[in-house]
């Protein structure tokens, strides 16, 4: 059971989603294709040939989904805006019908006492920008800033909390080096350039939001981070851990916090990032919080014949694994929060994603007793509470995800939701884990004397 007394009264509880994973309506109201619309149609790219064409149909069912959030009692909702819905060609005129959708969504959330956290880029790059070179091109970072200006100008009179870029690691390494995510490339040089421009886009977008929003903006980037450990005591494996840590963690956090790119990783890749002028200062533009997404630790062995960083993750012997094959390791989250704080001293840390996939099976009566996900939530929240008790400035926890959804290259088989979605009927059913999360939120409020009701949202 999580020790909720260790969390401050104004601790924020939330749920999170991403546009391509839930919205559907990929060709409605002026939206044009994203790189995920294109990638999902490559034979073999997505399990079962699934696409996000319909997903959870959130574009039409959002009132029902807000009602679910109210039922859960979550005071904050992190969602992403679909760039190809707002600026269909990536640059140029805004699509007013697309903006109107998010305008309605924000108004309804606020009316329900739920404070929105808007993510500008959660991987759905307009295909038109990809056709012009995508993230390996500097122009894409500049286009992100223009897009940020449009969205902040439209929503920044009500929205105060913003994420610029979600998980630049996935943009660069998984999308451009490993080829397992859109756009499906396998080129280290293009991956390094894509990563730099995603970070540059973050810095440019931070300034753009602050200039365009009509209310003071709280802004951060979100990184998916993992503690890394050697798979054996062999010197080669110990050395490989430093490369894995650099690839996963330091390559992103060092430049965000003014240290530039790690020299050991530039040597490992054999490629210099395409830094120009004051790029590093722009990337290190001060932000208000760091978003941390945590799912697993990495047990690492040397892999000299593999791809960069020549380090390979192996299964943890005897570990309990989720449906994704990821170890369930809650103490890794506490360790990670401590390490980030000691090394980088962010003003605040928000756990912007934490969740797990399990093979949920409804009972004949339609109940989903997902005991594994419930245990995952309790143990990871307890890890956050332990970090808070140790003085780590962690101020929120967003469960991934509100809904079962399109899980990228895994399609619809992997279910992360606190709410079950029957994709054939779009029927939503709160799982046992969702009810437990709601109880945790209530218990924390009652224990600490935090604000009452759905609007008792802490800083969100």
For tokens 């997505």, the residue is: 46
- Annotate 162-175 with b (16+ C-beta within 10 A) or e (fewer): bbbbbbbbbbbbbb
Q: Which of 185, 327, 334, 353 is catalytic?
A: 353
Q: Which of 167, 327, 334, 407 is catalytic?
A: 167
Strands 311-314 and 298-302, by their bridges, are antiparallel
Q: What is the pLDDT at residue 102?
A: 99
Q: What is the pLDDT at residue 373?
A: 98
**Known catalytic membership, residue 28:** no
Q: What is the pLDDT at residue 351?
A: 99
CA distance 431 to 420: 6
- Work out whether the CA dihedral 182, 183, 188, 194 comes out positive or negative: negative
Half-sphere exposure of 293 (CA within 13 A, CB side): 23
0.75 exceeded by the pTM?
yes
**Known catalytic membership, residue 167:** yes
**Maximum Cα–Cα distance across the chain:** 63
Own/partner long-range contacts of 274-281 (Cβ < 8 Å, ≥24 apart): 274/138, 274/192, 274/193, 274/196, 274/197, 275/196, 276/138, 279/196, 279/200, 280/255
Expressed in angstroms, the distance from the first to the final Cα of the chain is 25
Helices within 46-167 (DSSP H only): 58-72, 83-86, 96-111, 127-131, 138-155
Return the structure tokens found at 58: 């959130």
Give me the average pLDDT of each 10-residue run along the chain (460 residues): 95 98 98 98 98 98 98 98 98 98 98 98 98 98 98 98 98 98 98 99 99 98 98 98 98 99 98 98 98 98 97 96 98 98 98 97 92 98 98 98 98 98 98 98 93 44
Q: What is the pLDDT at residue 452?
A: 52
CA distance 302 to 176: 22
Return the structure tokens found at 234: 């062999």
């Amino acid at each position: 059971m999580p020790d909720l007394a260790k969390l401050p009264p104004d601790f924020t509880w939330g749920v999170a989603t991403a546009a391509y994973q839930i919205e559907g309506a990929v060709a409605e109201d002026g939206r044009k294709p994203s790189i995920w619309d294109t990638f999902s149609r490559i034979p073999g790219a997505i399990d079962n040939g699934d696409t996000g064409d319909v997903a959870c149909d959130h574009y039409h069912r959002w009132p029902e989904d807000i009602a679910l959030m109210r039922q859960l009692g979550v005071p904050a909702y992190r969602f992403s805006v679909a760039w190809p819905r707002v600026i269909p060609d990536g640059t140029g005129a805004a699509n007013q019908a697309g903006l109107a959708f998010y305008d309605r969504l924000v108004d309804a959330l606020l009316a329900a006492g739920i404070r929105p956290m808007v993510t500008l880029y959660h991987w759905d790059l307009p295909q038109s920008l990809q056709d012009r070179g995508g993230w390996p091109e500097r122009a894409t970072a500049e286009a992100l800033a223009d897009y940020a200006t449009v969205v902040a100008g439209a929503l920044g009179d009500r929205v105060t909390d913003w994420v610029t870029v979600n998980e630049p690691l996935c943009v660069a390494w998984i999308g451009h080096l490993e080829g397992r995510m859109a756009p499906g490339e396998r080129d280290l040089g293009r991956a390094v350039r894509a990563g730099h421009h995603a970070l540059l886009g973050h810095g440019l977008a931070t300034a753009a939001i602050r200039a365009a929003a009509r209310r003071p903006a709280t802004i951060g980037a979100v990184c998916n981070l993992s503690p890394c450990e050697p798979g054996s005591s062999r010197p080669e494996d110990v050395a490989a851990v430093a490369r894995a840590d650099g690839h996963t963690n330091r390559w992103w956090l060092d430049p965000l916090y003014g240290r530039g790119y790690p020299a050991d990783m530039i040597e490992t890749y054999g490629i210099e990032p395409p830094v120009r002028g004051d790029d590093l200062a722009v990337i290190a533009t001060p932000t208000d919080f760091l978003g941390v997404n945590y799912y697993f630790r990495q047990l690492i062995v040397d892999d000299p014949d593999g791809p960069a960083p020549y380090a390979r993750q192996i299964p943890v012997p005897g570990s309990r694994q989720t449906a994704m094959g990821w170890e369930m390791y809650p103490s890794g989250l506490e360790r990670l929060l401590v390490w980030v704080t000691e090394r980088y001293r962010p003003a605040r840390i928000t756990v912007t994603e934490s969740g797990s996939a399990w093979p949920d099976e409804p009972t004949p009566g339609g109940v989903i007793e997902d005991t594994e996900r419930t245990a995952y939530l309790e143990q990871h929240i307890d890890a956050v509470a332990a970090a808070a008790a140790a003085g780590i400035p962690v101020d929120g926890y967003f469960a991934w995800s509100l809904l079962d959804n399109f899980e990228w290259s895994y399609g619809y088989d992997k279910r992360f939701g606190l709410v079950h979605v029957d994709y054939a009927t779009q029927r939503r059913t709160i799982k046992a884990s969702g009810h437990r999360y709601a109880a945790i939120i209530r218990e924390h409020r009652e224990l600490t004397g935090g604000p009452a009701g759905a609007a008792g949202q802490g800083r969100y």
